[in-house]
Structure 1
Amino acid sequence: MSPWLVGFLLLTLWPIGQSFYLSFTDYSLLSQPVWSGGANYAKIFGGDPTFKKSLSVTVAFVLYSVPLKLLFSLLVAMLLNRNLRGMSFYRTAVYFPSLIGGSVAVAALWRNMFGKDGYVNHVLAWFGIEGTGWISNPDTALGTLVLLNTWQFGSTMVIFLAGLKQIPQELYESASVDGARPIRRFYHITLPMLSPVLFFNLVLGIIGSFQMFTASFVITPRGGPMQSTYVYAVFLYEKAFKHFQMGYASALAWVLLAIVAVLTALNFLGSRYWVFYESDGRGAK
């Protein structure tokens, strides 16, 4: 265990401790950190308008992207959960975009697709529809990032597919004999049996969405039009590496950790009312 332990201590635990210490200092990367107590946190919660703006944009992104991604991933997983010829090829083809979905190249391609002269507007022009600059319009810029995040559904879909494979087919057969229609079987068999997997994907989706950085930074530089895509991670990055306020950026990172931890804890508390575990018989009634 020593290689792993050394790596954990030097590359994980030590940077975490350093970040926590720096969050209580005035540190610019160009000089020695000076202890400032809770000044950074007081500034964050004392009315920093950029903090409030970036947090509100991030929350909006999470509220839109996470449900859409879960819904689309579950739909695709159900379509791929069939015993059809060539299904392995289709599953691979559907999952492949997720291997490159988080890259800078894909973000740059997305920017070209939704630009004023992009591919999306060219397709709309075939139907006589005049498009707009999707990433330059404050009303639609964040929506392009939500679409990109939804498109990166492969990993979530694979987890849903694995969960669907674990549902006993006898349940569906018994429900069919009793005359239950597909929609009724979905709500009374698929969703309850799949609820632990849904809960797992929900928690990971929220954590990942709060950390979204590459798409906003590449597709809509400088926070997009009227800071409509100025997410929290971009704000933190600029404070650290553009304004060299490393102490303040460290405090922002710990605030983000606290927010994600609280939301995760609330999800776990609420899961007892809707997540079904066959081992202990809990679940929604």
Structure 2
Amino acid sequence: MNKPDYKKTQVFPPGKRPKIFGHEKRKPIKDRENGMGYLFLSPFVIGTIGFTLFPILYSLYLSFTDYTLGGTPQWIGFQNYVEMFSNDAMFQKSMQVTFLYAGTAVPLRLVFALFIALILNKVVEMVGLYRTLLYLPSVVGGSVGVAIMWRQLFGNEGAINSILNAIGLSGHSWLGDPNTAIWTLVILYGWQFGSSMLIFLAGLRNIPSTFYEASAVDGAKPIQQFFMITLPMLTPVILFNTIMQTIQGFMAFTPAFVVTEGDPINSTLLYILYMYRQAFEYFNMGYAAALAWVMLIIIAIFTALIFKSSKYWVHYEDN
């Protein structure tokens, strides 16, 4: 007669189960595994605290001080902010230029990127080559070299004026005219459409082709398909691109610094360029920190407004 297996049949009261031999050794092993995980995470945590969180908090402190580079911060409260909004004409000018720049350059880039993405979505052969070539301006577009090339392109003796003279039109001082200088920077920003184009193209590839086939059977034209199918299905991607490009538009620096240096007559004095001048030309680090926090608040407000408005125009598949 077989003996009963007490390990399977015996029931122990709650909390009275006897310890299994070797079970007490599992906890130190688990602790060592957790410690190894924390060790691998420590560079990221230290880097985040040391190179992100601490500089952010320290810049907030400096924005309430009178601090010149190499000196000692002196607490002055909200004086930097009061000076900024009441007595600083260059701050107001840079805000006007930046809002004009972001308000025109961002829509231009998004529209052009979507247009090119729609064309590439129909291309089958060599589409990878076309994507690469069109993405290159975004890879090198923010570099100093491209900005120098742009300055030469729109210079008085540049290629643009040479073409105009060749076809019988008179050239123009594009970078020397306050009415046209900012538009050269807007065109440069729109030319760097590659990253937005790739994101739009990925969104277009995710739209089921059955939608277009069914609408074509019902007699829908390409324009109707774009507004009734493509655009609504692409609104989440448009939301993402709008937010990212708006942030980049407000933070633009290299074009104004290299191409025009804020001239003529401060017509291209973008906000970040003015902040740079305060920090590294006038050495007003406290005032520059206050400028940085004002821009952070402006970007946060615009981002929040875009997110708030998205419920009225962004459509998701599960809605």
TM bucket normalised to smaller:
over 0.9
The residue correspondences of 1:126-145 to structure 2 (distance < 5 A) are 126-145=166-185
Equivalent residue in structure 2 for 1:168, among 176, 195, 208:
208
2:202 aligned counterpart, secondary structure:
helix
The residue correspondences of 1:244-255 to structure 2 (distance < 5 A) are 244-255=283-294
AA aligned to 1:278 is: E
AA aligned to 1:262 is: I
The residue correspondences of 1:1-285 to structure 2 (distance < 5 A) are 1-221=41-261, 223-279=262-318, 281=319
**Alpha-carbon displacement from aligned partner over 1:139-196 (angstroms, at most 9, x marks no partner):** 1000000000000000000000000010010000011000000000000100000000
- Per-residue deviation, 1:83: 4.4
Following the alignment from structure 2 to structure 1, what is the Cα–Cα distance between the partners of residues 91 and 302? 18
**Alpha-carbon displacement from aligned partner over 1:86-108 (angstroms, at most 9, x marks no partner):** 12111111111211110000000
AA aligned to 1:114 is: F
**Alpha-carbon displacement from aligned partner over 1:211-244 (angstroms, at most 9, x marks no partner):** 00000000002x1111110010011000011111
Following the alignment from structure 2 to structure 1, what is the Cα–Cα distance between the partners of residues 233 and 87? 45
Following the alignment from structure 1 to structure 2, what is the Cα–Cα distance between the partners of residues 201 and 84? 25
- Per-residue deviation, 1:30: 2.3
Q: Which runs of 5+ in 1 are unaligned?
A: none
Following the alignment from structure 1 to structure 2, what is the Cα–Cα distance between the partners of residues 142 and 78? 29
Following the alignment from structure 1 to structure 2, what is the Cα–Cα distance between the partners of residues 108 and 149? 14
Following the alignment from structure 2 to structure 1, what is the Cα–Cα distance between the partners of residues 110 and 120? 15
2:201 aligned counterpart, secondary structure:
helix
Greater displacement, 99-108 / 77-86: 77-86
1:276 aligned counterpart, secondary structure:
coil
- Per-residue deviation, 1:44: 1.1
Aligned length: 279
AA aligned to 1:53 is: K
Segments of 4+ in structure 1 off by > 3 A?
none
**Alpha-carbon displacement from aligned partner over 1:256-277 (angstroms, at most 9, x marks no partner):** 0000100110101101000001
- Per-residue deviation, 1:84: 2.1
AA aligned to 2:306 is: N
1:272 aligned counterpart, secondary structure:
helix
Superposition RMSD in Å: 0.8
Following the alignment from structure 1 to structure 2, what is the Cα–Cα distance between the partners of residues 84 and 193? 22
Following the alignment from structure 2 to structure 1, what is the Cα–Cα distance between the partners of residues 74 and 87? 23
Following the alignment from structure 2 to structure 1, what is the Cα–Cα distance between the partners of residues 301 and 51? 25
Greater displacement, 68-77 / 38-47: 38-47
**Alignment partner, residue 35 of structure 2:** none
Following the alignment from structure 2 to structure 1, what is the Cα–Cα distance between the partners of residues 208 and 166? 47
Percent identity among equivalent residues? 49
Following the alignment from structure 2 to structure 1, what is the Cα–Cα distance between the partners of residues 87 and 203? 45
Return the TM-score normalized by structure 2: 0.86
